[in-house]
């Protein structure tokens, strides 16, 4: 890459400072909300393992509840053990809840016995969110989202599913940067290098579904973040123009997933738009 991208735009230049800022973010919002703990889904993957480690460092493992939610269609025993390992290392409260009965009941209730692909995968992601919020309510906690900047910019998440959360500590870190941060946090190598997957259907992997490696996707997204044209990104990265345009199109079309629901302005001020309250001190 040329000098515009620098030697490595995804390197964590000062890992300790970055981790410290993320810890303060988590601690501050927990205190402001008057919550007792942080609740997150732990899949055994990269993002959730990094998020869990940060939560434990910020407020202590005893104030973190990690929940793994396997089900028969995508059960991965190694992923469950990876999640358990991270929880044990950081002294995080850990629950394993098999959601197969909930998934089966949903299939029957929706008359979706043959449903598959994205519509059914989104149902499962939302069922997971229901479980996380149930425990956040009963434990007086906040749900911590585990999505990263790459996924958010691409719209690679389920609205009101894995996108449902109260705070999102990794939202401004590209997937490549999260991998670098994981190394600093001593996340086990097999977790750092494993293929990312939402595990919504058998054999699903993020890079296969998106059609590009995160290394290439992040280079494109980095340029889009800086309002570079597709042609400028191609000049900098040597990637094919068609690929860059496809990623840009996905980014633009998924904007609705990153915004609150649209509302027609009829009154003096509109809640969530021009009627927004300052953070409590």
| Residues 139-197: tens digit of each pLDDT | 999 999 999 999 999 999 999 999 999 999 999 999 999 999 999 999 999 999 999 99
For residue 260, what is the DSSP state? P
Collapse the DSSP code of 57 into the 3-class scheme (helix H, G, I; strand E, B; otherwise coil) and give the result: helix
* Closest residue by Cα to residue 5 from 174, 281, 235, 259: 235
Q: Coil, helix or strand for 278?
A: coil
Q: Report the C-alpha gap between 100 and 86 in whole angstroms.
A: 24
- DSSP strand E in the chain: where? 37-41, 64-68, 93-96, 141-143
User: 61 and 26 in contact (C-beta within 8 Å)?
Assistant: no
Domain ranges of the chain: 15-206, 211-259
Q: Which pair of tokens denotes residue 238?
A: 């040597």
pTM: 0.94
Q: Which of 204, 184, 223 is nearest to 50 (CA)?
A: 184
The per-residue b/e assignment along 151-189, b for 16 or more CB within 10 angstroms, e otherwise, is: bbbbbbbbeebbbbbbbbbbeebbbbbbbbbbeebebee
Q: For position 7, what pLDDT does the model report?
A: 80
- The CATH number fitting domain 15-206, selected from 3.40.50.620, 2.60.120.310, 3.40.50.10090, 2.30.130.10: 3.40.50.620
Helix and strand totals (H; E) in the chain: 12, 4
Residue 280 has pLDDT above 70, yes or no: no
Give residue 1's pLDDT band: very low, low, confident or very high (50, 70, 90).
very low
């Amino acid at each position: 890459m040329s000098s515009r991208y620098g030697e490595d735009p995804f390197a964590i230049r000062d890992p300790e400072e970055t981790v410290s800022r993320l810890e303060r973010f988590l601690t501050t919002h927990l205190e402001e909300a008057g919550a007792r703990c942080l609740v997150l889904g732990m899949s055994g993957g990269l993002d959730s393992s990094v998020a869990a480690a940060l939560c434990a460092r910020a407020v202590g493992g005893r104030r973190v509840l990690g929940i793994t939610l396997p089900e028969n269609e995508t059960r991965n025993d190694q992923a469950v053990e990876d999640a358990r390992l991270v929880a044990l290392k950081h002294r995080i409260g850990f629950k394993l809840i098999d959601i197969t009965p909930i998934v089966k009941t949903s299939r029957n209730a929706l008359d979706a016995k043959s449903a598959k692909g994205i519509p059914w995968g989104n149902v499962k992601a939302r069922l997971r969110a229901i479980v996380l919020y149930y425990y956040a309510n009963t434990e007086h906690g906040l749900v911590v989202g585990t999505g990263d900047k790459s996924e958010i910019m691409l719209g690679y998440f389920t609205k009101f599913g894995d996108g449902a959360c109260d705070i999102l500590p990794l939202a401004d870190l590209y997937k490549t940067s999260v991998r670098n941060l994981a190394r600093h946090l001593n996340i086990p190598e097999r977790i750092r290098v494993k293929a990312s997957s939402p595990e919504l259907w058998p054999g699903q992997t993020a890079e296969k579904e998106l059609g590009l490696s995160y290394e290439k996707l992040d280079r494109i997204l980095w340029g889009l973040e800086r309002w570079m044209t597709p042609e400028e990104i191609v000049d900098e990265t040597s990637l094919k123009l068609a690929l860059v345009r496809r990623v840009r199109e996905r980014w633009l079309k998924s904007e609705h997933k990153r915004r609150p629901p649209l509302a027609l302005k009829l009154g003096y001020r509109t809640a969530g738009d021009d009627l927004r309250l300052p953070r409590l001190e």
